[in-house]
């Protein structure tokens, strides 16, 4: 895929928590499965060279021709805790801004295997509609430590369980609205 594609713009929004929306390091095309592209975003924080750190965000793109019929603009997962602020995470609850499409929220909330996997992985996600795509991204980017070269984003690999989790969410998104 050529650099500068419109797909590189998807998912940039407020993703990295600043007015600068970050820059795309590139798109990875995925041959099989519901997730077709992975866009890696980077944002550099800090004013001087010695105090800079980078935040990275993986944005998963799921094409859907019937997305207009689903009419659910933004879906978020939130953690349910055993105690109000500092309790351990015991579950996931999905919420959405939907005109229609409560069936999607019901499907996500009732998928116990998916939700227990999200709890285990500590993942919180934001799902939005942009053009003809579902955009799945973590609520919080991975932030590289302050010390340069001590850790690398490229050394932090996605586990098979994380990939299975994102694929299961994508499959739920692609199910026809009832």
15 CA to centre of own chain: 9
Rg (CA), the chain: 17
The 10s digit of each residue's pLDDT in 88-98 is: 999 999 998 77
| pLDDT (mean) for 28-44 | 88
> Is 0.85 topped by the overall pTM?
no
Q: Is the dihedral of CA 129, 130, 135, 140 positive or negative?
A: negative
Distance CA(122)–CA(157), nearest Å, equals 15
Q: Given a cut of 60, is residue 151 above it in pLDDT? A: no
Domain boundaries, the chain: 6-174
Determine the average pLDDT of the residues in 141-151. 54
At residue 178, does pLDDT exceed 50? yes
Burial class (CB in 10 A: 0-12, 13-18, 19+), 15: buried
């Amino acid at each position: 895929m050529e650099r500068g594609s419109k797909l590189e713009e998807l998912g940039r929004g407020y993703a990295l928590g600043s007015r600068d929306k970050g820059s795309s390091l590139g798109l990875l095309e995925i041959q099989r499965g519901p997730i077709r592209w992975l866009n890696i975003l980077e944002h550099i924080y800090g004013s001087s060279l010695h105090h800079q750190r980078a935040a990275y965000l993986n944005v998963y793109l799921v094409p859907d021709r019937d997305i207009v019929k689903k009419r659910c603009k933004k879906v978020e997962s939130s953690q349910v805790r055993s105690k109000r602020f500092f309790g351990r995470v015991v579950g996931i609850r999905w919420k959405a801004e939907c005109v229609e499409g409560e069936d999607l929220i019901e499907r996500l909330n009732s998928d116990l295997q998916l939700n227990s996997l999200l709890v285990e992985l500590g993942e919180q996600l934001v799902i939005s509609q942009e053009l003809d795509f579902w955009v799945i991204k973590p609520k919080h980017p991975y932030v590289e430590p302050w010390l340069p070269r001590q850790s690398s984003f490229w050394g932090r690999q996605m586990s098979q369980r994380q990939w299975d989790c994102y694929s299961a969410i994508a499959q739920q998104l692609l199910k026809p609205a009832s």
